Amino acid sequence: MLKKMFFIAATSVSCLVFSQNASKQKLMDYLDSLSVHHKLMGSFAIAENDRPAFLKTTGFSDAAKQQKANINTQYRIGSISKIFTAVLIMKAVEDKKLSLSTKLSLFYPEIEYADKITIGNLLQHRSGIHNLTNEEEYWTYNTKPQTEESLLSIIKKYKSDFSPGTKYVYSNSNYIILGFILEKVYEKSYIRLIKDKIARPLKLTLTEVGGKIDPSKNQALSYQYTNGNYQLSQETDMSIPVGAGNIISTPTELIKLIIGLENGKLISKNSLEQMKGFVDNYGYGIAKVPFEQYSGYGHTGGIDNFRSVLYYFPELKVAVSFVTNQSDYDNNDISIKMIQTVLGKDFKMPNFKEISVSEELLKKYEGLYKAEGFPLDIKIFSENGKLMGQATGQGKFPLQAVSENEFKFEMAGIKMKFNTAKATMDFSQGANNFTFKKQ
C-alpha cells in the first residue's frame, strides 16, 4: 500500500553546466524515453523561485479507453498524505486542541504503551506501534471498506515493536491513528479538515480525500505493464489509509502545498521549524532530503501502483514533484535528474537494451529465499517468461535481466545475482547488501 521513502543519495558526479532550455528539453526527452519503453506513466512538475518552471505528462489515465493524462489528472499520492496530516496536527497544536506531549491514552488507552506514546512519537514514527501494512493479512482486507473500530482492532492486536521514543521505524499505523485523533479534537471529518484548513487557504481545487477512482472525473487508474499490456492494479479502499495515505492530487498542486507550507500560509514558521526537527532523518510528516551541498525536505509515497515524490529545497527555492500511475523505474533516479535539470547540469540518458534469458534458466532461480538479518522472505518465480519477485506481505514486482544471472528492479533500486551452484541470491538495495539462501 504505502511505501517507505528512498532518500536521494548525495552525488559527487562531476556534471557539465549547459543552458536551462537545453537542460529542460533533455529532461523532456528523458521522460519521453521512459514512457516509450513503458517504464512509466505520470505527471511531473518543477518550480523555480517558487514559480512554475516545468510541466510534463505522459501516458494514460485510463489505458483501456486510451484516455491520456493531462495537467489536471488526479492521482493517488500515498504517503505524501502524511505531510497533510502533520500540518493539521501542528494546526491543532496552534489551536490549543492538542500538544506534542499529549498521550495516546487520552484517545485509545487500549493500545499497548498508550500511556507513554505521545503525539510527537506518532508524528516521527517513534511510537513502536506495529505497521499493519507489513502483515500478510493486510492483503486480505485492503480492498474492503473499514471503520475506525475495525482498523483499531487490527492495530491494537499486534505487539509493540519497541519501547516508545527509543528508535525510528516507519509505520502507517501511526498516521491512521493521527487521522482519527484529528477528527475527534476538531469534531469534523478528515475530509472536511483537508478542505477547510489546507485546500481552501491555498486555493487547491484538485486536492482532496480520494474515494473509488472515477476515470470519468479525470482520475487516474494505476497499472503494471506486463507482456505488452497495461494490467489494471487492485484498488485499495480509501477508508483504510486515512491520514497515512488517502489524498488525491496533482504534482502542480503538491508543489503549491509545500511552497505554501514553507512560506507560512498554513502554519506558523515556528511550527514548521518543529516539523523540521529531524531525528534519524525524519521530522513531523517530512523527511530530510540531501542533494550535493543542499538540504531539502519532503516525502515520497506509494499506494497500489501509484508512486509519488515531493521535495523542496529552501536554499534554492526549488520544488520538484511527480506522481506515476505505472512505473518500472527508480523514482530516485528521476528525482535526481529533475534536480540536476534545475541546476543546469547534464546527465546520462538510460540504455534500455533488454537481455533475453531462457525459461529453463529462469526456472532454476525459482524458490523461497531467506537471509539472516533481513525482515522479509523473498519468493522468486517466473511468469509469462519473465522473472518476478515478491517479498512477504508485499505485491509482486518484475525483474529485468542485466545478464543471465543478474536482475534488477529499477523502481526500488534493487539488484539480485543468482548462484545456482550455491543456491544463493546476492541482494543489494542502496548501501544494503544481503546473501539470501534458497530454501
Q: Which one-letter amino acid corresponds to residue 184? A: K
Is the domain of 320 the same as that of 387? no
Burial 395-429 (b: 16+ CB within 10 A, else e): eebbbbbeeebbbbbbbbbbbbbbeeeeebbbbee
Which of these, 107, 67, 22, lies nearest to 220 by C-alpha position?
67
pTM listed for this prediction: 0.83
* Arithmetic mean of pLDDT, 216-242: 95
Is the domain of 371 the same as that of 327? no
Is the domain of 314 the same as that of 405? no
61 neighbors 72 (Cβ within 8 angstroms): no
CATH assignment at residue 431: 2.40.128.50
190 neighbors 183 (Cβ within 8 angstroms): yes
User: Which of 286, 320, 352 is the endpoint of a domain?
Assistant: 352
60 vs 140, 225, 230, 324, CA distance in Å? Answer: 29, 12, 10, 10
Is the domain of 17 the same as that of 166? yes
Q: What is the pLDDT of residues 326-369, one digit of tens each?
A: 998 888 999 999 999 999 999 989 877 778 899 999 999 999 99
Is the domain of 389 the same as that of 273? no
Q: What is the pLDDT of residues 74-104, one digit of tens each?
A: 999 999 999 999 999 999 999 999 999 999 9
Q: What is the pLDDT of residues 250-272, one digit of tens each?
A: 999 999 999 999 999 999 999 99
Which grid coordinates belong to 273? Answer: 521549524
180 neighbors 242 (Cβ within 8 angstroms): yes
Question: Residue 352: its pLDDT value, please?
Answer: 78
Q: Which one-letter amino acid corresponds to residue 17? A: V
Q: What is the pLDDT of residues 365-399, one digit of tens each?
A: 999 999 998 888 999 999 888 899 998 877 788 89
User: Which of 333, 352, 371 is the endpoint of a domain?
Assistant: 352
Number of domains in the chain: 2
Give the residue ranges of DSSP H helices in 247-405.
251-262, 269-275, 331-342, 359-365
Is the domain of 46 the same as that of 62? yes
Is the domain of 340 the same as that of 389? no
Q: pLDDT-derived band of residue 20, with 50, 70 and 90 as boundaries?
A: low
Q: pLDDT-derived band of residue 412, with 50, 70 and 90 as boundaries?
A: confident
73 neighbors 58 (Cβ within 8 angstroms): no
Check whether 14 has a pLDDT greater than 50.
no
CATH assignment at residue 52: 3.40.710.10
Is the domain of 41 the same as that of 160? yes
Is the domain of 317 the same as that of 416? no
87 vs 175, 187, 191, 202, CA distance in Å? Answer: 12, 17, 14, 13
* Cα dihedral value 161, 165, 169, 172, nearest 10: 90
User: Which of 352, 379, 395 is the endpoint of a domain?
Assistant: 352
Is the domain of 271 the same as that of 403? no
Residues with Cβ within 8 Å of residue 414, at least 6 apart in sequence: 389, 408, 427, 428, 429
Compute the distance between CA of residue 324 and CA of residue 364 in angstroms, rounded to an integer: 33
Percent of the chain as helix, strand, coil, to the nearest 5: 30, 30, 40
Check whether 3 has a pLDDT greater than 60.
no
80 vs 19, 168, 173, 178, 240, CA distance in Å? Answer: 32, 18, 15, 15, 15
Is the domain of 291 the same as that of 364? no
- SS3 string, 221-253, reads CCEEEECCEEEECCCCCCCCCHHHCCEEECHHH
Is the domain of 202 the same as that of 185? yes
Residues with Cβ within 8 Å of residue 134, at least 6 apart in sequence: 393
Q: The domain containing residue 175 runs over which residues?
A: 1-352
59 neighbors 328 (Cβ within 8 angstroms): no
